[in-house]
Structure 1
Amino acid sequence: MKPTAIGTDLNPADPASCDREPIHILGSIQPFGFLVVVSTDWIVVRVSENVAEWLDQPAEALLGTHLVEVFEGEAVHQIRGKLQSIRGPGQVERIFGLKLSKGGPGFDVALHVSGESIVIEAEPSVAGSTNPVDLVRTLVGRLQQTTGFGALCREAARQMRALTGFERVMVYRFDHDGSGEVIAEAARAGLEPYLGLRYPASDIPQQARALYERNWLRLIADVDAKPAAIVPQVNPEGQPLDLSMSVLRSVSPTHLEYLRNMGVAASLSVSILRGGKLWGLFACHHRVPNHLSFERRSGIELFGQMFSWIMEGREREVDIAYEAHARDLHNRLMSLLAPDRTGFDGLKGFLDELRAIVQCDGIGMSVEGQVTLKGSTPTQGEMVGVVRYLNQIASSRPFTTNEFGRLHEPAKAFTERAAGLLVIPISRTPRDYLIFFRREVARTVNWAGNPHKAVTTGPDGARLRPRTSFDAWREIVRGQSVPWSEADLRIAESLRVTLLEMMLRLTDTADKERKGAQAHQELLIAELNHRVRNILNLIRALMTQSRSEFETVEDFARVVGGRIQALARAHDQITATNWGPGSLHDLIHLEAGAYLGVKAERVRIDGEDVLLEPQAFSTMALVVHEMMTNSAKYGALADSHGTITVELSRDDDELVLGWSEMGGPPVKAPTRRGFGTTIIERSIPYELKGDAKIRYELTGVMARFTVPMRFVSPAPERKILSIKGLEDCPAPPCALSGMVLLVEDNIVIALEGEEMLLQLGADAVEMASSVKEALRIIEARPPDFAVLDVNLGTETSLLVAERLRALNVPFIFATGYGESFVIPPALGAVTVVKKPFDVDALRSACVRDVPVAHAPALSAPSD
């Protein structure tokens, strides 16, 4: 390739030099027309050297003259008017049949702006019997009748041949790697077919492709015609004329040699664009020179534009259908993920649904270093290298390749399973990925000649020469998958945005829930503080009121302990309502028994029992507790004479609970509203939409509470529960003896438990505060009996229980969990004592028949 353009400096043996050849400033035009360049003030500054053939004036004589001295005045007027329509440097305007001289022949004129110059190109008009625009309209109508992409291309090639008269017309489509393939062909009988042949990317250099995107049509009328040079070659600033938009631009000598090697004397190329980018070409060949008039070429250009839009519409329909299907699957997947609160990790269960969104053979997800794979993918071990490679590239948008082995050498080992990747980054720190895989598709490519032979030796030495052989050359291409399309990328980007939005919503929801939980926790702490203070005050009142009733300390301790135990039972009853409706009678009796013990009869209930739904039961338990607490502090239960009457009745659609106190000290309305008063007055109206009214009469407190019947159901007939003090229960005989193991992590409770066990007959008590210490005592000397606290802070006593069961040592559990503690089935039946317990509760548990048969080993926590 000899440097023919002005100012070029190319390496003749460098294949890449073709991509740098300045074909837009070759300094000459094809000779079937002429060129005149004027300045903005219409002075002729350049002309083609063949201008004398058309205007009867030598080129040098025209330079420096005004255009009106070259063209007839009316022609200049029309040219100036047409230039008014040009909106930018990439636009070409046309005038057909323009008479440049008075009485002279008509010329077809092309006008465009190049830099600060106006370029006028003219060629003789050719009268035709057929209007090209009308012909194009008819042909386009027939194109629109075709169905299927292949049929559309074949029909377009046939019609283009009819429009141009060229012997061969090919529809040539570019691949992702720049090479091109003939996908449709219409040729004169007897010509060797090119259909299905592929041409390397180097056959059409990059700068030529860029010009094809700017110029829809390029005619080479005669490959052997001598080009007409532009005079002068450079302007006073030393710049050549940019002919990028020229319709007469001359041809690179390398390309002319290429055409001669193919046996082509004339060629016509019409661009096929999609989205403004070069998709392919109509490539037209003729074995003898063939000039088409500018008017006819304009009709052919219009046909190429119409075909591009029809083809783009057909392909767009396919993409739209594909994207619509993907969007439908996408939306369905998001609806499934909407209630999920586990973040990206929760996507692992939906890989099959994600895999259906994008056309692929396998899918993988890497989240915080954990990889999950489905379908045809690399192995877990191979994915380590894949993720490391992905961490090195940009993580802000999807990444695709259909030949991963070319980028990542180890990937060549698994191309059969995963040659192509579409990667969606779903987080940056840490870098997490959703990856779609496509397996290798080995394909046979029929090249038009060997694409790898480019540099040859000619008479002028080693230089890049166009190929001389176009015989079919077969190559098997491996290591590549089906390329990812623009539609695939759009779907991937949409999916990436949705996943990120989902994570933002989950983060926002988690933040709101955290704030709500914090507020709820603060409320619970306030309620807990209030209830603890009430319990402490109640215990103090119980001890104060009880101290004068008994003569001995033992009796005093036994009765007060029994009343505290009643309080614990009342608490268990409240928490138990979470499992179903609870008895309102039982609730009131349990609360009364907690305060009065054997004198619980001071609280009388009139009316049939009912069951309250869990929500209503919990609310009513709080209200009754507060009413009972206030009565014990200030009302009828504050002395030894007062009574409380609770009346249960039904009024329309409401349960009515009437509360009346009599016989107590004079009542005064509270001067300060505490949290307890708020619970009494507002809990039922707020939570149950019922009513609460309380009056502080001098003779006793009066209250009326209503609960909507939707929270109420009839109670089954049974004996009403009556709670009495444990001091009335006869103590069963106790056979406790020998050494007893007490496992308890609280030293105060442990010392009290030791005293109770010694009182019940134990010869010795060994105390342990941890599993390790308890097992050490057992190994040194197995105990005769054991009491095990369930919760030991950071561990449980289940491992100790398993060891005792293996040694046939009887034991019981002591717990503050109430009914929520479930004994593991492997331990069998074990007696449970609820905290706080007293000596009578402990005695009752110790004398029960505890099974000690061997049981299967447990998976208990270690110490």
Structure 2
Amino acid sequence: MNFRETSSPEVDLSNCDREPIHMLGRVQRFGYLVAMSMDWIIQHVSANVEDVFGQGPDDLLGMPLAELLPASAIHTIRGRLQLLSPNEGSERAFSIDLLEDGRHFDLAVHISDSSIVIELEVADDASMHTINPGSLIKAMIARIQRCSTNEALFNECVRQLKAATGFDRVMLYRFADGGSGSVVAEALNRGLEPFHGLNYPASDIPRQARRLYLKNRIRIISNVDAVDVDVVPPTSPTGAPLDLSLSVTRAVSPIHIEYLKNMGVCASFSISIVIDDKLWGLFALHHYSPRHLAMEMRSTLDLFGEIISLVIEGRLAKQMRRIEEEARDAHDRVVGRLVATSPTMEELIDFADDFRELIPCDGFAVWAKDVVRTVGRCPFPDEMPGISRFLNRAAASRVYATDDLSSVYPKAQEFTDRAAGLLAIPISRSPRDYLIFFRKEIVETVSWAGRPDDKPVEYGPNGPRLTPRKSFETWQETVRGKSTPWSLADMRAAEALRVSILEVLLRFNEEAERQQQRATQNQELLIAELNHRVRNILSLMRALVVQSRAGAKTVDEFAKIIGGRIQALARAHDQITNDHYQAQSLRAIIQTEIEAYIGHKVSRVHLDGPPILVDAKAFSTLALVFHEMVTNSAKYGGLSDSRGSIDIRWRIDEHEACEILWRESDGPPVQPPTRRGFGSTIIERSIPHDLGGEVSVDYQLSGVRARFLLPPQVFWLDEEKLDAHNHGKESDQVNGQTADIVEDTALSALSGKSGLVVEDNMIISLDAEQILLDQGASRVLTAMNVSEARRIIENEAIHVALLDVNLGSETSFALVPALQEKGIPFVFVTGYGEKLDLPETVNAGVEAIKKPFAADQLIEALERAIARSGG
């Protein structure tokens, strides 16, 4: 917005918050930038790239990166990209001979929307040769962990950072909830004015800057007087500027440059402290002359910041746990007394001392049924109705708290000396009743680094804004009308108390009445269900008696038939009721009927099939069907003599139905029945009628053949027993056969095979290892160099291999002869792109996939290699 409006717009702090500081289109003088599309075509460069590549922006834009950088550099960049997630930080490499001309650069790579951004800095090898980053961090953390208090920890952190970086001033700046903050620790050179204890307004670090501190946790400004370098072109063909949120060389906002110059600062460096995904604070390092830290040192301090974030988070969490444990103990004591006495709403005032121990306050009130009862320092009774009406506008089921009541309820200015802060717990909906805690006014003097409102309006490239303060002399402000803030622990204690009062006490009578109503309803439902079941049982018994009469010639025979069928139903009922009316095994249903009727011939019945559980509602039907089948076989079929047998098998067919096949053999010749009795009707019609399945019975001369089909909704596989069945442990008689289960899921070609991953980057190696294991590989061995890989090939059974071409000082081509001699298929992985030349010794058809690779791309290449080898 590069314009002046004719009318004077209202200018406030939000003007600063709207400055697009992540899209300034410039980098700092010490950096060089190259941005590419995802197919590695150069889209943007910084205007100073000729210093590195000998070619200007006009020569580089639109050029494939492979024409600018040697293969080794592209391999390094691809390897770093493999470790990246889009829009999440950057990966770095240090002291790289990027152009293979003896010049060394530090390199940072990140992904910005649909672009790959590479940033270069001339490597300062001398600065890190004398420092081991790991040893530096270890020494710093060791000293910090010895600190017993948070204050000591903060002071030690700034001292360690000053010693490690040499900056003139190092501060720990902690943010408050509203965005403002204060300096809680400081280490500085002699002669400098201390800032410790000073407060800074939220506008000094606008919202969009705080968001960038979350995304990019370190920030270097080497020289505020240096002229920034433009990114060319400033926008893409679609008109969008390059987003430099994750850039390590991003230029600095002119407003922030002005702010630093007003403070006399020439260089700065910041390290974010992030706790629970929120910006808790910053280490702010200031220098009063130009100062630059090498990328490797900055990365080391980035790691230091992450570790310190975890240390502080752990200490704060421990402190919060202690406070919550004390509050929980007090809460339990209060609730115990409440439960023991069951007070009315009005009688809650008798527990004022307990409530005030739980939530510290200066006054406590119970507002119930438009009457107030108070203890301690509170507003006067005639002021409480107004407070109640104010609270009625808040949410009905939430705790409300403020430490500045007069700012939201102006009438509170009349009693600020008695109640400046308020916390209210709603304990009913209609009418609105409350427990109210009051805190008195605390007059506080706040020291600011300059007057926060001392910001004149100026017009800048982004419209009217408040300029940075030009004075940072300590300015003190007296704050009135506010109480001690309500802490997170206070709010949690209040919410727990609200739940306890509502659920344990105030709803007791309502719950008792509801329980009584529910008991009455359950009794009525139980009686109705009992009547229903009794009528069904009586109807079933009547049908069995009537239908069984026609098939009996004598009373004894009739009694035997009807008794057998009733016993079959009883056995089914016992099976399901013994297990609380749960599904039971199909095998158990059949076996129960066999053992009940022909116990001495049970060895002549062969059962085989997967472990299937049958829904309880299908039990009675299946029990009657198999009772009739066993009865008929014992009378007329395979079990009626001493030689016959029955083979009963079941499987899941292609339609996910359960097919049960009944085969009788070696018995007497079978004749089809001349008369269709009730038993035949049960066999042929029960399953289709009751379960929606199918039945066919074929009376062949050699023995009865029957097929029963159960629909999917009445059964399911017992997964816990499926593996045992597949190993032959489920069959009653081991005959070398397994259940005929149709599996739709195709197995990967890697299933059950051993793999070898040769990769010198541990994280990429672990990633590839997990991909192979997820595809069913039995084990995956990893190697970081040729000698280790050759030992594995010689001594281990390997079925497939994945080879990273570049292994640092060697290549994996040396492994090709050993792999081809053993017939082990393999696939290359490379960061060199399409220019990879394979040795002539490599068999035709061997593939090479590019980094960064996707899981499906890797698996498909390995499966093709296995297929080519005949594996």
**TM-score w.r.t. structure 2 length?**
0.56
- Give 1:64 shift: 0.9
Aligned counterparts of 2:422 and 2:29: Cα–Cα separation in 1: 51
Q: Is the 8 A contact 2:15 2:464 kept in 1?
A: no
- Give 1:443 shift: 1.0
- Give 1:28 shift: 0.8
- Give 1:490 shift: 2.6
Corresponding residue number in structure 2 for 1:363 = 364
Confirm whether residue 220 of structure 1 aligns to residue 218 of structure 2: no
What letter corresponds to residue 337 of structure 2 in structure 1?
L
Corresponding residue number in structure 1 for 2:27 = 29
- Give 1:491 shift: 2.6
Aligned counterparts of 1:507 and 1:88: Cα–Cα separation in 2: 57
**Residues 459-490 of structure 1, C-alpha deviation per residue, up to 9 Å, x if partnerless?**
99986321111111111111112222223223
Q: Is the 8 A contact 2:16 2:465 kept in 1?
A: no
Q: Is the 8 A contact 2:331 2:493 kept in 1?
A: no
Taking the TM superposition and a 5 Å limit, the aligned residue runs for 1:580-619 are: none
Q: Is the 8 A contact 2:424 2:435 kept in 1?
A: yes
- Give 1:255 shift: 0.7
What letter corresponds to residue 100 of structure 1 in structure 2?
L
- Give 1:113 shift: 1.4
Aligned counterparts of 1:121 and 1:436: Cα–Cα separation in 2: 57
- Give 1:318 shift: 2.0
Structure-2 change in CA distance of 1:457 and 1:108 (3 Å): closer
1:122 paired residue among 120, 123, 126: 120
Aligned counterparts of 1:467 and 1:326: Cα–Cα separation in 2: 44
Q: Is the 8 A contact 1:343 1:506 kept in 2?
A: no
**Residues 812-833 of structure 1, C-alpha deviation per residue, up to 9 Å, x if partnerless?**
xxxxxxxxxxxxxxxxxxxxxx
Corresponding residue number in structure 2 for 1:96 = 94
Aligned counterparts of 1:84 and 1:234: Cα–Cα separation in 2: 27
- Give 1:122 shift: 1.6
Corresponding residue number in structure 2 for 1:59 = 57
Corresponding residue number in structure 2 for 1:474 = 476
Corresponding residue number in structure 2 for 1:444 = 445
**Residues 416-464 of structure 1, C-alpha deviation per residue, up to 9 Å, x if partnerless?**
2222222333333332322322222111111111112211579999863
Question: What is the SS of the residue equivalent to 1:502?
Answer: helix
Q: Is the 8 A contact 2:32 2:48 kept in 1?
A: yes
RMSD over aligned CA atoms reads 2.7
Identity %: 47
Q: Is the 8 A contact 2:179 2:202 kept in 1?
A: yes
What letter corresponds to residue 385 of structure 1 in structure 2?
G
Aligned counterparts of 2:21 and 2:167: Cα–Cα separation in 1: 25
Q: Is the 8 A contact 1:425 1:431 kept in 2?
A: yes
2:48 paired residue among 46, 50, 63: 50
Structure-2 change in CA distance of 1:516 and 1:466 (3 Å): closer
Q: Is the 8 A contact 1:262 1:468 kept in 2?
A: yes
Structure-2 change in CA distance of 1:517 and 1:80 (3 Å): closer
**Residues 480-533 of structure 1, C-alpha deviation per residue, up to 9 Å, x if partnerless?**
1222222322333333333333247614553168669999xxxxxxxxxxxxxx
Aligned counterparts of 2:42 and 2:223: Cα–Cα separation in 1: 28
Taking the TM superposition and a 5 Å limit, the aligned residue runs for 1:146-157 are: 146-157=147-158
Q: Is the 8 A contact 2:73 2:98 kept in 1?
A: yes
Corresponding residue number in structure 2 for 1:567 = none
Range that drifts further, 240-249 or 393-402: 393-402
Corresponding residue number in structure 2 for 1:490 = 492
Corresponding residue number in structure 1 for 2:609 = none
Q: Is the 8 A contact 1:272 1:278 kept in 2?
A: yes
Q: Is the 8 A contact 1:340 1:346 kept in 2?
A: no
Corresponding residue number in structure 2 for 1:383 = 384
**Residues 376-417 of structure 1, C-alpha deviation per residue, up to 9 Å, x if partnerless?**
222222222211111112233222221111111011222222
Structure-2 change in CA distance of 1:348 and 1:516 (3 Å): farther
Aligned counterparts of 1:290 and 1:90: Cα–Cα separation in 2: 28
Taking the TM superposition and a 5 Å limit, the aligned residue runs for 1:475-624 are: 475-503=477-505, 506-507=508-509, 509-511=511-513
Q: Is the 8 A contact 1:163 1:300 kept in 2?
A: no
Structure-2 change in CA distance of 1:35 and 1:518 (3 Å): closer
Structure-2 change in CA distance of 1:490 and 1:517 (3 Å): closer
What letter corresponds to residue 17 of structure 1 in structure 2?
N
Structure-2 change in CA distance of 1:289 and 1:354 (3 Å): same
**Residues 643-691 of structure 1, C-alpha deviation per residue, up to 9 Å, x if partnerless?**
xxxxxxxxxxxxxxxxxxxxxxxxxxxxxxxxxxxxxxxxxxxxxxxxx
Aligned counterparts of 2:237 and 2:33: Cα–Cα separation in 1: 19
Q: Is the 8 A contact 1:47 1:231 kept in 2?
A: yes
Q: Is the 8 A contact 1:13 1:455 kept in 2?
A: no
- Give 1:329 shift: 0.6
Taking the TM superposition and a 5 Å limit, the aligned residue runs for 1:785-800 are: none
**Residues 311-342 of structure 1, C-alpha deviation per residue, up to 9 Å, x if partnerless?**
22222222211111110010111111123444
- Give 1:10 shift: 12
Name structure 2 gaps, 5 residues minimum: 522-871
Corresponding residue number in structure 1 for 2:348 = 347
Corresponding residue number in structure 2 for 1:134 = 135
Question: What is the SS of the residue equivalent to 2:22?
Answer: helix
Q: Is the 8 A contact 2:15 2:465 kept in 1?
A: no
What letter corresponds to residue 41 of structure 1 in structure 2?
D
Aligned counterparts of 1:163 and 1:319: Cα–Cα separation in 2: 32
Corresponding residue number in structure 1 for 2:334 = 333
Aligned counterparts of 1:499 and 1:420: Cα–Cα separation in 2: 23
Aligned counterparts of 1:311 and 1:98: Cα–Cα separation in 2: 35
What letter corresponds to residue 305 of structure 1 in structure 2?
E
Corresponding residue number in structure 2 for 1:257 = 258
Corresponding residue number in structure 2 for 1:18 = 16
- Give 1:366 shift: 2.3
Q: Is the 8 A contact 1:89 1:113 kept in 2?
A: yes
Aligned counterparts of 2:247 and 2:312: Cα–Cα separation in 1: 27
Instruction: Give the structure with higher Rg (CA).
Output: 1
Name structure 1 gaps, 5 residues minimum: 520-863
Range that drifts further, 148-157 or 391-400: 391-400
Q: Is the 8 A contact 2:86 2:113 kept in 1?
A: no
Q: Is the 8 A contact 1:28 1:249 kept in 2?
A: yes
Aligned counterparts of 1:326 and 1:463: Cα–Cα separation in 2: 47
**TM-score w.r.t. structure 1 length?**
0.57
What letter corresponds to residue 491 of structure 1 in structure 2?
A
What letter corresponds to residue 494 of structure 1 in structure 2?
A
Aligned counterparts of 1:473 and 1:404: Cα–Cα separation in 2: 26
Q: Is the 8 A contact 1:420 1:439 kept in 2?
A: yes
Aligned counterparts of 1:99 and 1:516: Cα–Cα separation in 2: 80
Corresponding residue number in structure 2 for 1:73 = 71
Aligned counterparts of 2:506 and 2:61: Cα–Cα separation in 1: 69
Aligned counterparts of 1:302 and 1:361: Cα–Cα separation in 2: 45
Confirm whether residue 192 of structure 1 aligns to residue 193 of structure 2: yes
- Give 1:257 shift: 0.6
Question: What is the SS of the residue equivalent to 1:24?
Answer: coil
Corresponding residue number in structure 1 for 2:293 = 292
Structure-2 change in CA distance of 1:88 and 1:499 (3 Å): farther
**Residues 190-226 of structure 1, C-alpha deviation per residue, up to 9 Å, x if partnerless?**
1111112111221111111111122211111110111
- Give 1:291 shift: 0.4
Aligned counterparts of 2:50 and 2:437: Cα–Cα separation in 1: 65
**Residues 18-39 of structure 1, C-alpha deviation per residue, up to 9 Å, x if partnerless?**
0111111111111211111111
Structure-2 change in CA distance of 1:336 and 1:287 (3 Å): same
Aligned counterparts of 1:333 and 1:192: Cα–Cα separation in 2: 51
Corresponding residue number in structure 1 for 2:586 = none
Structure-2 change in CA distance of 1:322 and 1:362 (3 Å): farther
Corresponding residue number in structure 1 for 2:721 = none
Question: What is the SS of the residue equivalent to 1:25?
Answer: coil
Q: Is the 8 A contact 1:442 1:479 kept in 2?
A: yes
**Residues 614-653 of structure 1, C-alpha deviation per residue, up to 9 Å, x if partnerless?**
xxxxxxxxxxxxxxxxxxxxxxxxxxxxxxxxxxxxxxxx
Corresponding residue number in structure 1 for 2:425 = 424
Structure-2 change in CA distance of 1:11 and 1:142 (3 Å): farther
Aligned counterparts of 2:244 and 2:9: Cα–Cα separation in 1: 23
Aligned counterparts of 1:74 and 1:10: Cα–Cα separation in 2: 58
